[in-house]
Amino acid sequence: MKLPPLEERYEKLLITREGRKLTITMNRPESLNSADTLLHEELANVFYDVATDPHSDVIVFTGAGRAFSAGGDIPWMLDAIENPEMFEQTAREAKRIAFSMLELEKPLIAKVNGHATGLGATLALLCDVIFASNTAKIGDPHVSIGFVAGDGGPAIWPQMIGYARAKEYLLTGDLIPATKAAEMGLINHAVAPEELDATVDAFADRLLKGATKAIRWSKVVTNMELKRIVHAVLDAGVAYEALSNYSQDHKEAVTAFREKRKPQFTGR
């Protein structure tokens, strides 16, 4: 059976083209592009589809509206608490997302147009080159909702900024202004919001004018050690995250968020 065009395969992802530059936009702006069941499933598939797309050489990844991605959707988390068997699929998809991004030979540019938190931060950091609006913040606040940062944060953050700083931010969940993130090497560049599109376009155009095979295969070689690390860490990460899904602290945090109050953690 012939598949529909790539641009027509997704509901929560907008696929657009400009020459051989393809842009993937997470398209849930009303929810700050947080992942629900369908978006998470689509993220687990899209980079494999893009890898075999013959009409693109450079991929830009961004979010619609005022955020890149706020991570996991709270109603989706509540569903997982009430139906913990859901987490088996979530865990499989989390691994597919990370592995497909790292295995993609085409250069993958993150255009972080707004806050990138939790899974959103992981999605940005797994890209090859990361440009952010200087008004954006980046962080992995899984612990603030009683959750293990298991979907890739403990694998990618230490490679970017070292273990000491990575643990500081993963254990507190603090968000980092994009300008500071660029200074510490977590991302590549923080630019004024009005300059973000043009800056990313200029970098993408530079890659498009380069030696395609040399660029792709340089990425492949550079990612080899990173892929080994992510493969080594991610199974344990999603397993511990699944365990924390059963915890009282996670249930309390999600309930508190819905009730617009601060959670009262008990360590259970």
Closest CA to 33 of 68, 59, 75, 76: 68
d(CA 28, CA 184): 30
Structure tokens of 60? Answer: 């830009």
Rg (the chain; Cα; Å): 18
- Residue 224: what pLDDT? 97
d(CA 193, CA 50): 27
**170 lies in some domain:** yes
Whether residue 52 has pLDDT greater than 80: yes
How confident is the model over 153-165, as a mean pLDDT?
Answer: 97
Residue 259 to residues 146, 171, 173, 253, 264, Cα–Cα distance (Å)? 16, 24, 21, 10, 12
The count of other CB atoms within 10 Å of the CB of residue 5 is: 10
Q: Which residues contact 120 (CB under 8 A, 6 or more apart)?
A: 33, 34, 63, 67, 68, 69, 70, 71
pLDDT tier at 29 (50, 70, 90 boundaries)?
very high
- Residue 1: what pLDDT? 65
In eight-state DSSP terms, residue 21 is: E
How confident is the model over 28-38, as a mean pLDDT?
Answer: 97
Location of structure tokens 């693109």: 56
* Amino acid making up residue 118: G
d(CA 61, CA 180): 21
**97 lies in some domain:** yes
Give phi and psi for 62, each to the nearest 5.
-150, -175
* Amino acid making up residue 251: K
Percentage above 90 pLDDT, the chain: 89
Closest CA to 212 of 1, 21, 25, 38: 21
Of how many residues is the chain composed?
Answer: 268
**199 lies in some domain:** no
d(CA 111, CA 125): 11
- Residue 16: what pLDDT? 98
**119 lies in some domain:** yes
140 contacts 173 by C-beta, under 8 angstroms:
yes
Among the residue ranges 16-25, 69-78, 117-126, 214-223, the one predicted with the least confidence is 69-78
**200 lies in some domain:** no
**120 lies in some domain:** yes
Count the domains in the chain.
1
Q: What is the dihedral of CA 177, 183, 188, 194, to 10 degrees?
A: 50
d(CA 256, CA 262): 6
**202 lies in some domain:** no
71 contacts 35 by C-beta, under 8 angstroms:
yes
- Give the domain extent around 159: 6-193+209-258
Closest CA to 20 of 63, 55, 67: 55
Residue 49 belongs to a domain with what CATH number?
3.90.226.10
214 contacts 125 by C-beta, under 8 angstroms:
no
* Amino acid making up residue 23: T
Q: What is the mean pLDDT of the chain?
A: 95
**263 lies in some domain:** no
